[in-house]
């Protein structure tokens, strides 16, 4: 049975998982969860995702939520261990990069990304929230620029899951704002991520993928 991905085609976190599935060449079935109708808030749904959010996966009865945890599980279960290096030092640098994403990128980037995306889709999007979160993000990007001046990717010279975790908010911010433009190393890095086939595959929305 293929991995079942419960989510929505245009959901950012669903696309993060789909991109990782694609990187790992794991076939999957997208099971649409209609969040606009509140299908993610039912008692039945919360048995699998207690916070009533998307996405989660069902891998032959193994249920897992949180997009980054799903990515780590998939990389551990299926071949292609370079996405989470085994070597102790490379692994430590991967963990450092993953922690950097959670501490220095996601809090402001997710907020900015969400409002920019809502604006793009015509669902609103609050300009004050965009401005404030991009201002905070820009300060954190100084550190990113220094890190990416030393290595190709955030955890070293090879792509790891930590880089992929930055998608999709990095892609939305790159398209709908100018905040990365004064950082040449960040611009190069974001471009290298958004040009990956795994990211481009779902640019019109996540779809079930039976083969690669
Ligand atoms: N930290 C979670 C965040 C999940 C999340 O924010 N999901 C959004 C869609 S991208 C959602 O379910 N929104 C609907 C809701 O909260 O009701 C993850 O990475 O999986």
Q: What is the pLDDT of residue 139?
A: 98
Task: Please give the domain boundaries of the chain with CATH numbers for all domains.
Answer: 3-81 (3.40.30.10), 83-196 (1.20.1050.10)
Minimal-distance CA residue to ligand 1 atom 15: 53
pLDDT in tens, 153-197: 999 999 999 999 999 999 999 999 999 999 999 999 999 999 999
Query: Sign of dihedral through CA atoms 171, 129, 121, 205?
Result: positive
Q: Does 149 score more than 90 pLDDT? A: yes
Strands 56-59 and 62-65: antiparallel
Ligand 1 atom with minimal separation from the 14 CA: 10
Could you check whether the bond before residue 168 is cis, i.e. omega within 30 degrees of 0?
Answer: yes
Ligand 1 atom with minimal separation from the 114 CA: 10
State how far the Cα of 67 lies from the Cα of 49, in Å rounded to an integer: 12
- Most ligand 1 atoms within 8 A of CB, residue of 53, 57, 72 to mutate: 53
Q: What is the pLDDT of residue 82?
A: 87
Ligand 1 atom with minimal separation from the 53 CA: 12
- In sequence order, what DSSP letters do the residues of 136-189 get, joined into one string? HHHHHHHHHHHHHHHSSBTTBSS--HHHHHTTTHHHHHHHH-STTTT-HHHHHH
Q: How far is the CA of 53 from the centre of ligand 1 (A)?
A: 5
Give the list of residues 6+ apart from residue 27 with CB closer than 8 angstroms, or none: 2, 3, 209, 210, 211, 212
Binding pocket residue ranges, ligand 1, CB within 6 Å: 11-13, 35, 40, 52-54, 66-68
pLDDT in tens, 115-148: 999 999 898 999 999 999 999 999 999 999 999 9
Q: What is the pLDDT of residue 1?
A: 87
Minimal-distance CA residue to ligand 1 atom 17: 53
Minimal-distance CA residue to ligand 1 atom 11: 53
pLDDT in tens, 20-50: 999 999 999 999 999 999 999 999 999 999 9
Q: What is the pLDDT of residue 94?
A: 98
Edge-to-edge order in the sheet of strand 56-59: 28-32, 3-7, 56-59, 62-65
Q: How far is the CA of 11 from the centre of ligand 1 (A)?
A: 8
Minimal-distance CA residue to ligand 1 atom 14: 53
pLDDT in tens, 53-94: 999 999 999 999 999 999 999 999 987 768 999 999 999 999
- Most ligand 1 atoms within 8 A of CB, residue of 6, 14, 30, 54 to mutate: 54
């Amino acid at each position: 049975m293929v991995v079942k991905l419960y989510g929505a085609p245009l959901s950012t976190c669903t696309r993060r998982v789909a991109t990782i599935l694609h990187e790992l060449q794991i076939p999957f079935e997208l099971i649409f969860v209609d969040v606009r109708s509140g299908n993610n808030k039912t008692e039945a749904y919360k048995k699998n995702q207690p916070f009533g959010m998307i996405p989660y996966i069902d891998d032959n009865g193994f249920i897992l939520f949180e997009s980054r945890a799903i990515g780590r599980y998939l990389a551990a279960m299926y071949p292609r261990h370079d996405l989470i290096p085994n070597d102790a030092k490379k692994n430590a640098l991967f963990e450092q990069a993953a922690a950097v994403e959670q501490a220095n990128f996601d809090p402001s980037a997710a907020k900015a990304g969400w409002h920019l995306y809502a604006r793009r889709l015509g669902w609103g999007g609050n300009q004050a929230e965009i401005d404030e979160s991009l201002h905070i993000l820009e300060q954190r990007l100084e550190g990113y620029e220094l890190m990416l001046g030393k290595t190709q990717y955030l955890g070293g010279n090879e792509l790891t899951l930590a880089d992929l975790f930055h998608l999709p908010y990095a892609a939305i911010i790159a398209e709908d704002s100018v905040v990365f433009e004064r950082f040449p190393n960040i611009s190069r890095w974001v471009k290298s991520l958004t040009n990956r086939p795994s990211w481009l595959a779902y640019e019109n929305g996540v779809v079930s993928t039976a083969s690669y």
